[in-house]
């Protein structure tokens, strides 16, 4: 009986534990990175909200803008290993890839913030006519399959000075 327990431990439990580690580590690290990024986005959104007014109208709200220009922000964000794995399974079965939606939302928020921060750094106080363009990049390296999304936000910025 002692030999059977050792055999069970070596050939079943140990490989199972190692497999779980390779599964759990990407989940934990991806969750931590995503949580930190979301906290940073929230902090930056609160900071820019009082400095630059933004809307999606084609014309400025201010009565007499003295200056106008184009601002833009772009970002490319890749999925972590676990979300890529989930998306590959969903691709086999079919349906909506819900694991990739938070990545697209983070990319959209980051690109919008970069455009607003650029407007503020150039002295603009209002941003309108915001347009968002995104592209899913399937940068499939034969050794490492990575799913990425790229978002470009561009808008018209106005200033009364």
User: How far apart (Å, rounded) are the C-alpha atoms in residues 45 and 25?
Assistant: 30
* Confidence grade of residue 18 (pLDDT, cut at 50, 70, 90): confident
Name 140's bridge partners.
145
Helix (H) or strand (E) holding 148: strand 148-159
With residues binned 3-state (H G I as helix, E B as strand, rest as coil), the percentages for the chain, rounded to 5, are 55, 25, 20
- C-alpha span between 88 and 81 (Å, rounded): 11
What pLDDT digit, counting tens, does each position of 26-71 carry?
Answer: 788 888 989 999 999 999 999 999 898 888 777 777 788 889 999 9
pTM across the whole model: 0.80
Q: Quick one: fold of 2-159?
A: Translation Initiation Factor IF3 (3.30.110)
Strand 53-54 to strand 126-137: parallel, antiparallel, or no bridges (unpaired)?
A: parallel
Please state the rounded mean pLDDT for residues 8-21: 72
What residues are paired with 154 via a beta bridge? Answer: 72, 131
Within 8 A by CB and 6+ apart from 88, the residues are 145
Greatest alpha-carbon pair distance for the chain in Å reads 89
CA distance 150 to 129: 20
Q: CA dist 88 to 5, 82, 136, 148, 154, Å?
A: 37, 10, 14, 13, 31
Q: What is d(CA 23, CA 17) in angstroms, rounded to the nearest whole number?
A: 10
């Amino acid at each position: 009986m002692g030999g059977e327990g050792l055999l069970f431990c070596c050939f079943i439990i140990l490989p199972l534990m190692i497999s779980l580690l390779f599964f759990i580590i990407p989940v934990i690290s991806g969750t931590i990175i995503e949580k930190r990024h979301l906290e940073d986005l929230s902090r930056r959104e609160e900071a820019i909200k009082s400095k630059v007014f933004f809307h999606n109208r084609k014309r400025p709200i201010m009565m007499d803008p003295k200056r106008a220009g184009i601002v833009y922000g772009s970002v490319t964000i890749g999925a972590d290993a676990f979300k890529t794995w989930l998306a590959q399974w969903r691709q086999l079965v079919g349906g909506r890839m819900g694991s990739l939606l938070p990545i697209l939302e983070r990319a959209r928020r980051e690109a919008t913030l970069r455009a607003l921060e650029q407007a503020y750094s150039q002295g603009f106080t209002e941003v309108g006519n915001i347009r968002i363009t995104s592209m899913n990049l399937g940068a499939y390296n034969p050794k490492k399959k990575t799913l990425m999304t790229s978002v470009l936000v561009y808008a018209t910025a106005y200033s009364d000075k």
